[in-house]
Amino acid sequence: MPTIRFTNVQDLLKVVRQVQGDFLIVKKVPPADFERLCSREKRPCRIRRYHANQGLLILTIPTCLHETLHLELWNLYRDKLVRKNQDRGWRPIGSTTFRPRGHPEGDVGEGDSSGCPRPVRSSPGSWPTLVIEAGDSESLSALRDDMRWWFLASDHDVKIVLLAKFDHGNQRIIIERWEEELQIRQGATNTRRSTNGNTFQPVLRQSIAIIRDITTNSYHVTSGALVLSFRLLFLRGPGPQEGDFIISVPELATYARNVWERVED
């Protein structure tokens, strides 16, 4: 992973413009300098994560490939909302900056695409129920760290995290759907104790690989359609003419084709 040591905001922005890829780790970033970076109206990067106690800053650089990875997936979901006349009950949040509850000076995170239902989460600062994180040069294990952060930092207000990872070596896209499960389990890692002593554990609900066949320029989708729970997204049970959102195998193949158009040879 590209990694540098922080000197000042101006030099950091110069490095960001020169990095090949969509991911940069910056060490030893003082909180005051981090706030200066955040306050800039225009910056060529997003704050993937800032770990205040370590001064560790992880930046997302919005390359064409990176943006297509999450936006095309987000648009598939949004199209379902529009077709079902449910878009007015949904609020896109995009890459809004979030800080863990009760720690305004603590860690910071920005998603790639995110959103939540209205009116139940219409107040400022409401956390999304759906977050999509994309990765090109970022590893799948690092993306999974992002997933865990969203669940924990939101105090479990985030309900679904989708990870979209482009795997150049194997000519495939990996999509993972993560949710949380309440478990009676003491001392588990990456969990937070609930009020009744139980714990929440991230659970991989779906793992879909979309593989490109170079010889035929076609796309093979494993594990079937992507299913997004209406109950988790909207925080209520489905009513008449409502139900889970299904992104079909043909739609996922079209998604992959659109992503591959942004891959540089």
Query: What does the angle CA 141 – CA 179 – CA 172 come to, to the nearest 5 degrees?
Result: 45
Domain boundaries, the chain: 1-62, 63-260
Q: Is the pLDDT of residue 171 over 60?
A: yes
Pick the CATH number of 63-260 from 3.90.1570, 3.30.750, 1.10.1420, 2.60.40: 3.90.1570
- pLDDT reported for residue 34: 93
- pLDDT reported for residue 209: 98
Express each pLDDT in 47-74 by its tens digit: 999 998 899 999 999 999 999 999 999 9
Q: Is the pLDDT of residue 42 over 70?
A: yes
Q: How far is CA 148 from the centre of its chain?
A: 11
**Which pair of structure tokens corresponds to residue 187?**
């001392």
* β pairing state of 172-183 and 160-167: antiparallel
- pLDDT reported for residue 195: 47
Q: Which residues contact 238 (CB under 8 A, 6 or more apart)?
A: 230, 231, 244
The continuous run of DSSP H or E covering 71 comes out as: helix 64-83
Q: Is the pLDDT of residue 194 over 60?
A: no
Q: Is the pLDDT of residue 187 over 60?
A: no
Could you give the CA distance from residue 132 to residue 94 in angstroms, rounded to a whole number? 9
- Cβ–Cβ < 8 Å for 52, 38: no
Residue 15 backbone phi and psi in degrees, to 5: -65, -40
- pLDDT reported for residue 193: 45
Express each pLDDT in 67-113 by its tens digit: 999 999 999 999 999 999 999 999 999 999 898 865 556 689 999 99
Could you give the CA distance from residue 226 to residue 262 in angstroms, rounded to a whole number? 22
In order of 11, 158, 183, 200, 245, the CA distances from 196 in angstroms are 49, 20, 11, 11, 32
- pLDDT reported for residue 242: 93
Per DSSP, 193 falls in state B
- How many residues appear in the chain? 265
pTM of the predicted model as reported, rounded to 2 decimal places: 0.91
* β pairing state of 46-51 and 56-60: antiparallel
The continuous run of DSSP H or E covering 142 comes out as: helix 140-153
Could you give the CA distance from residue 223 to residue 205 in angstroms, rounded to a whole number? 11
